[in-house]
A and B are shown apart, each in its own frame.
Chain A
Amino acid sequence: MLRREFMKLAVAAGLGLSASGAALAADMPAPFDKPEDVKIALVRYLSTGDFFQSYLSGVEKQAEALGVDLRVLDSRQDAALQADMVDQAIALGVDGIIIQHGLTESMKAAAQRAVDAGIKVVAFDVDVENDAVPQVEQSDYLLGKMALEQAIKDNGDSFTAGYVYVPGIAPLDRRDVAWKEVKEANPGITEAAMFGTLDNPIANSVANQARSILQANPNISVVFAPYDEFAKGVKIAVDEAGLSQDIDIYSADVSTADISAMREPDSAWAATVATNPAVVGEVSVRTLALMLAGEDPDAQVVVPPTLITQEFLNENDVKNMDDLGEKMPQFRHADVSVAEWIPLPKR
Chain B
Amino acid sequence: MKSDNMNKSALDLAIRYGFIVLLCGLALFFSLYASGFASPRSAVFIFQSVAITGILALGVTCTLVVGGFDLSIGSVATSALMLSAYSMVILEQSALVAVLLCLAMGALVGLINGILIVKMRVPDLLATLGMMFLLIGLQRIPTQGNSIATGMSLPDGSVAEGTFSAAFLWLGRHRFDLFLDRLLPVPVVLFLLIALIIWLFLGYTRHGRLMYAIGSNERAAGLVGTNVQRYKIVAYMISGMLASVGGILLAARLGRGDIASGNNLLLDSVAAALIGFAVLGAARPNAFGTAAGALFVGILLQGLTMMNAPYYMQDFVKGVVLVAALVFTFYLSSRRGGRKTA
Contact with A along B144-176 (1 / 0, CB 8 A): 111101111100000100000000000001000
Give min CB distance, A158 to chain B, whole Å. 21
Which of A62-70, A114-122, A205-213, A299-307 lines the interface with chain B?
A: A205-213
Among B290-308, those with CB < 8 Å from A are 301-303, 305-306, 308
B94 at the interface (CB under 8 A from A): no
- Establish whether residues B144 and A53, one from each chain, have CB atoms under 8 Å apart when the complex forms: yes
Among B29-51, those with CB < 8 Å from A are 34-37, 39, 41-42, 45, 48-49
Q: Chain B residues with Cβ under 8 A from A197's Cβ?
A: 311, 314
B78 at the interface (CB under 8 A from A): yes
Residue of B nearest to A195 (CB): B305
A218 at the interface (CB under 8 A from B): yes
A20 at the interface (CB under 8 A from B): no
Residue of A nearest to B308 (CB): A193
Among A189-230, those with CB < 8 Å from B are 193-205, 207-209, 211-213, 215-218
Give min CB distance, A28 to chain B, whole Å. 29
B322 at the interface (CB under 8 A from A): no
- Establish whether residues A212 and B42, one from each chain, have CB atoms under 8 Å apart when the complex forms: yes
- Establish whether residues B308 and A260, one from each chain, have CB atoms under 8 Å apart when the complex forms: no
A36 at the interface (CB under 8 A from B): no
- Establish whether residues B153 and A240, one from each chain, have CB atoms under 8 Å apart when the complex forms: no
Measured in the bound complex, the distance between the Cα atoms of B78 and A50 in whole Å is: 16
- Establish whether residues A218 and B36, one from each chain, have CB atoms under 8 Å apart when the complex forms: yes
- Establish whether residues A216 and B254, one from each chain, have CB atoms under 8 Å apart when the complex forms: no
| Given A200-B263, A212-B302, A236-B254: A50 in contact with B311 (beta carbons within 8 A) | no
Measured in the bound complex, the distance between the Cα atoms of B72 and A130 in whole Å is: 44
Measured in the bound complex, the distance between the Cα atoms of B264 and A85 in whole Å is: 29
- Establish whether residues A215 and B256, one from each chain, have CB atoms under 8 Å apart when the complex forms: no
- Establish whether residues A260 and B260, one from each chain, have CB atoms under 8 Å apart when the complex forms: no
A232 at the interface (CB under 8 A from B): yes
Measured in the bound complex, the distance between the Cα atoms of B145 and A53 in whole Å is: 7
The answer, among B35, B152, B255, B302, for a CB contact under 8 Å with A320, is B152
A329 at the interface (CB under 8 A from B): no
Measured in the bound complex, the distance between the Cα atoms of B310 and A187 in whole Å is: 24
Contact with A along B246-276 (1 / 0, CB 8 A): 0000100111101111111100000000000
| Given A50-B146, A216-B34, A216-B37: A201 in contact with B258 (beta carbons within 8 A) | yes
The answer, among B48, B260, B308, for a CB contact under 8 Å with A201, is B260
Residue of B nearest to A218 (CB): B36
- Establish whether residues A194 and B308, one from each chain, have CB atoms under 8 Å apart when the complex forms: yes
Measured in the bound complex, the distance between the Cα atoms of B260 and A216 in whole Å is: 29
Give min CB distance, B152 to chain A, whole Å. 5
| Given A212-B302, A218-B36, A322-B153: A200 in contact with B261 (beta carbons within 8 A) | yes
Residue of A nearest to B148 (CB): A257
Measured in the bound complex, the distance between the Cα atoms of B151 and A207 in whole Å is: 24
- Establish whether residues A257 and B149, one from each chain, have CB atoms under 8 Å apart when the complex forms: yes
Interface residues of B toward A: which range?
35 or more
Residue of B nearest to A202 (CB): B260
B52 at the interface (CB under 8 A from A): yes
Measured in the bound complex, the distance between the Cα atoms of B48 and A286 in whole Å is: 49
B182 at the interface (CB under 8 A from A): yes
A259 at the interface (CB under 8 A from B): yes
The answer, among A53, A201, A204, A320, for a CB contact under 8 Å with B151, is A320
Residue of B nearest to A193 (CB): B308
Give min CB distance, B72 to chain A, whole Å. 16
- Establish whether residues A205 and B264, one from each chain, have CB atoms under 8 Å apart when the complex forms: yes
Residue of A nearest to B78 (CB): A201
The answer, among A48, A166, A208, A232, for a CB contact under 8 Å with B259, is A48
- Establish whether residues A212 and B250, one from each chain, have CB atoms under 8 Å apart when the complex forms: no
- Establish whether residues B45 and A215, one from each chain, have CB atoms under 8 Å apart when the complex forms: yes
Q: Can you list 18 A-B pairs, Cβ within 8 angstroms, ordered by A?
A: A47-B145, A49-B145, A49-B147, A49-B259, A50-B147, A167-B310, A200-B264, A201-B254, A203-B258, A212-B36, A216-B36, A240-B45, A240-B48, A256-B153, A260-B150, A319-B151, A319-B159, A320-B151
Supplied contacts A240-B45, A320-B153, A322-B159, 7 more A-B pairs, CB within 8 Å: A50-B259, A198-B311, A201-B254, A202-B260, A212-B42, A256-B152, A260-B256
A→B interface (CB under 8 Å) = 47-50, 53, 166-167, 193-205, 207-209, 211-213, 215-218, 232, 236, 239-240, 242, 255-257, 259-261, 319-322
Q: Which 7 A-B pairs have the closest CB atoms?
A: A257-B149, A208-B49, A320-B151, A199-B264, A201-B260, A216-B306, A200-B260
B→A interface (CB under 8 Å) = 34-37, 39, 41-42, 45, 48-49, 52, 78, 81, 144-147, 149-153, 159, 173, 182, 185, 250, 253-256, 258-265, 301-303, 305-306, 308, 310-311, 314
